[in-house]
Amino acid sequence: MSVAHYFETMDYGPAPESDAEARAWLSKHDRGFRHFIGGQWVNGKSHFDTLEPATAKVLAKLSQGSNSDIDAAVKAARKAQAGWAKLGGHGRARYLYALARLIQRHARLFAVIESLDNGKTIRETRDLDVPLAARHFYYHAGWAQLQETEFADYQPVGVVGQVIPWNFPFLMFAWKVAPALALGNTVVLKPAEFTSLSALFFAELAEQAGLPPGVLNIVTGDGDTGAALVKHKDVDKIAFTGSTEVGRLIRKETAGTGKSLTLELGGKSPYIVFDDADIDGAIEGLVDAIWFNQGQVCCAGSRLLVQEGIAEDFIARLKARMAKLRVGSPLDKAVDMGAIVDKVQLERISALVKQGIAEGAQCYQSPGAATDKGFFYPPTLLTNVHPASTVAREEIFGPVLVTMTFRTPDEAVMLANNTRYGLAASVWSETIGLALDIAPKLQAGVVWVNSTNLFDASAGFGGYRESGFGREGGREGAYEYLKLKAWAKRKARPASKPLPAAKAKADAGLPMIDRTAKLFIGGKQARPDGNYSRPVLSPKGEILGEVGEGNRKDIRNAVAAARGAEAWSKATAHNRAQILYYIAENLSGRRAEFAGRVAAMTGSRMAAAQAEVDAAIKRLFTYGAWADKFEGDIHTPPLRGLALALKEPIGVAGIVCPDEAPLLGFISLVAPLIAMGNRVVAVPSERHPLAATDFYTVLETSDVPAGVVNIVTGDRLSLTKTLAEHDDVDALWVFGSDKASAEAERLSSSNLKRTLVDHGLATDWFDPAQAEGPVFLRQATQVKNVWIPYGE
Ligand code: NAI
């Protein structure tokens, strides 16, 4: 071959990384890998093969975890938890630090094991997966060290079950394990069946490092093993990363169990290129967005939205770049794309591409892309894609980019948000004003400005909408592994006494004039759709008045009104604060009247009822105060740039209120949500709703825009179900009943609402430690990290 040829093709020979050490490690386990339970290596009753995707040959045998393996692991974790928590932050920090150092010391072996097992390139495992995994352990060693001061009001959740996917086996392992252990929890982790080896290698190192037995347990196996972990009664929390489909199953399975849950699910993330973008930069970015890790990335930039004027030129240049991508052996350091994780995934990708073509897309694939030995698929571009087509909507989870064009920034935002997912987005424009105008408008947990696929342990990662809930990394991720001490003390709510039969008020003398409180929808008092009402009784059974019997239609109308009040979410925090103070002022002007109402409904003494009204006024002030102070953060991850952690409202929230403290409970739930810019549909106390219905007259005089607070009275359980099933409700808070809590969690799986429920535990609404503050504000917001790199 001549020099001229090399010059022409810029081709280079193979640059393989040695796999000798990794293969030697594998051969030590050639009779099959075991589970790591309670510090022991436990052989499974049966085994299954894990393949090397680049060759389709068997790489190792893994133990298939059974129910009893899971049970043994959970027991070991439970036994170890108290001691691990008692070790204190500094003790745990030392372990995490030691683990981080061990990852660094064995970095190359980790990288090779990961490439062999997953099929991803050594360039990526060496430069990204493994260093980032170490960074997670370092970063969380820091939270362990600071836990006693920074999270003084919180305690560990307990025993955590973690189920992870195959696309970033070791990185996801670190994302899950590091924060959980740092904050005093113990862990049972199930790796993905295709890629368990790096987790097992880590367990060997943890054993060498003297991690106490039972603190980290690893049970390998398939979905059934994962399901057994999710179902186990003695697990306090489940943290899952994987498909939206399985995430939904887990939401249903854990509903009503009291287990806390975080889900990091799929995506169909937009990659938006404006006509003033740095085109070469944007094209190179796309290589990282969709061909990185063979596109098997939950936040892959898989939908290219390019501005019409530059589209033709952009696609031509993109194809030229694609033609130069090298696909081949993952251990070759000069290869851009490795193998797909498994045959099943390969078939899924190719079936979806075929479907895309059948639906009218044009397909371009990189020429000369490897090799028939393993599971390879070429870099693929689908053009002429309709926004409604399957390939534009479904997560392909492979190296397949679909592209569409837009004309205006508004259209770009509309197309970008036209998905049920909301994990990530990239925005490319040299006009920083434009990029920063677009970023807050995108429904996504991460927005990368002129960049893509940047991650760091300091910046929480997680989705909006059906991409799941909860964050991993950052301070917000730490809270996912903590429980408020004041909440841990709550006791089961005592059963409420049945009310006596209804009777007219004893001293009424004259027949009652109609005193049916209306519903409050879109800023107007509204009759209930069904035209039914229900009496509100005093503890003696006297009829104090009536309220509307809200039904499905009323909830629909209220949700529509809340949707329409979107301007509230964009109002300034100053503006929202002022309105909260104004509500408090107007309530305090009617203190005696409200206290009388509370006393009549609950039978409490007037002084106690006045104390409730006063506490409600104070709480409104508290949230007025927080409205412009519960702000975001600026992270300085290890790059020249910033990540702005914005706390954004979730959208439309349903609230179901408890019977205890009927006014204060209602205010304690409504105020944090509206303070953070959400619009709400509130169902007042079922038994004592009149203070809340009186309250709409306070709202009417307090400049609260129509639709921000909507009130629908009626049956707690049926209204909870309706709210939970409504796909335009983004969050649901249910207090006052374990049954309603369970239904809220179960039915919210349809659109994966963020739920906050009390599981039938009674909150002391007068105790600020339980009933107000950041623990509610965090639930009322979701963090969006906007990454803004500014140079080399
Ligand atoms: P999956 O969601 O089935 O697997 C993820 C993990 O969950 C694995 O460890 C698996 O064993 C476990 N699992 C499966 N069923 C379970 C159950 N019922 N209860 C508890 N754990 C269970 O993902 P899969 O089948 O490997 O891939 C299918 C599709 O999911 C992919 O094509 C891709 O679209 C998507 N996916 C998305 C990921 C993400 O990070 N967003 C990661 C992996 C897959």
Instruction: Measure the CA–CA gap between 2 and 567, rounded to whole angstroms.
Output: 67
The minimum-distance atom of ligand 1 relative to the CA of 266 is: 41
CB 655 within 8 A of CB 611: no
Which DSSP helix (H) or strand (E) runs through 180?
helix 169-182
CB 277 within 8 A of CB 322: no
Instruction: Measure the CA–CA gap between 42 and 70, rounded to whole angstroms.
Output: 11
User: How close is the Cα of 243 to the center of ligand 1, in Å?
Assistant: 5
The minimum-distance atom of ligand 1 relative to the CA of 163 is: 9
Residues (pLDDT < 50) of the chain are none
Query: Hey, which of 62, 171, 243 would you mutate to test ligand 1's pocket, going by the most ligand atoms within 8 Å of its Cβ?
Result: 243
Nearest-CA residue for ligand 1 atom 25 is 243
User: How close is the Cα of 242 to the center of ligand 1, in Å?
Assistant: 4
What is the pLDDT, as a whole number, of residue 4? 74
User: How close is the Cα of 466 to the center of ligand 1, in Å?
Assistant: 15
Nearest-CA residue for ligand 1 atom 10 is 223
User: How close is the Cα of 372 to the center of ligand 1, in Å?
Assistant: 26
Nearest-CA residue for ligand 1 atom 13 is 223
Nearest-CA residue for ligand 1 atom 29 is 243
Instruction: Measure the CA–CA gap between 205 and 246, rounded to whole angstroms.
Output: 31
Beta bridge partners of 536: 545
Nearest-CA residue for ligand 1 atom 41 is 266
Nearest-CA residue for ligand 1 atom 11 is 223
What is the pLDDT, as a whole number, of residue 737? 95
CB atoms < 10 A from the CB of 492, how many? 10
Nearest-CA residue for ligand 1 atom 34 is 397
Instruction: Measure the CA–CA gap between 740 and 761, rounded to whole angstroms.
Output: 12
Only one residue has tokens 């409600």, namely 616
User: How close is the Cα of 289 to the center of ligand 1, in Å?
Assistant: 21
Could you give all domains of the chain from N- to C-terminal order, each with its CATH number? 20-265 (3.40.605.10), 269-462 (3.40.309.10), 519-637+649-781 (3.40.605.10)
User: How close is the Cα of 642 to the center of ligand 1, in Å?
Assistant: 32
* Residues contacting residue 728 through CB under 8 Å, at least 6 positions apart: 559, 560, 563, 652
User: How close is the Cα of 166 to the center of ligand 1, in Å?
Assistant: 8
Q: Which residues are catalytic?
A: 264, 298
What is the pLDDT, as a whole number, of residue 150? 98
**Three-state DSSP class for 561?**
helix
CB 326 within 8 A of CB 337: yes
Only one residue has tokens 């170490």, namely 134
Nearest-CA residue for ligand 1 atom 42 is 242
User: How close is the Cα of 246 to the center of ligand 1, in Å?
Assistant: 6
CB atoms < 10 A from the CB of 263, how many? 25
Ligand 1 pocket list (CB less than 6 A)? 163-167, 190, 192-193, 222-223, 226-227, 230, 241-243, 246, 249-250, 265-266, 298, 345, 348, 395, 397
Residue-wise pLDDT for 573-587, tens only, equals 999 999 999 999 999
Query: Hey, which of 238, 246, 344 would you mutate to test ligand 1's pocket, going by the most ligand atoms within 8 Å of its Cβ?
Result: 246
The minimum-distance atom of ligand 1 relative to the CA of 192 is: 9
Only one residue has tokens 């301007």, namely 567
Query: Hey, which of 51, 163, 345 would you mutate to test ligand 1's pocket, going by the most ligand atoms within 8 Å of its Cβ?
Result: 163
The minimum-distance atom of ligand 1 relative to the CA of 341 is: 26
Nearest-CA residue for ligand 1 atom 32 is 397
User: How close is the Cα of 244 to the center of ligand 1, in Å?
Assistant: 8
Q: pTM score, two decimals?
A: 0.96
The minimum-distance atom of ligand 1 relative to the CA of 265 is: 41
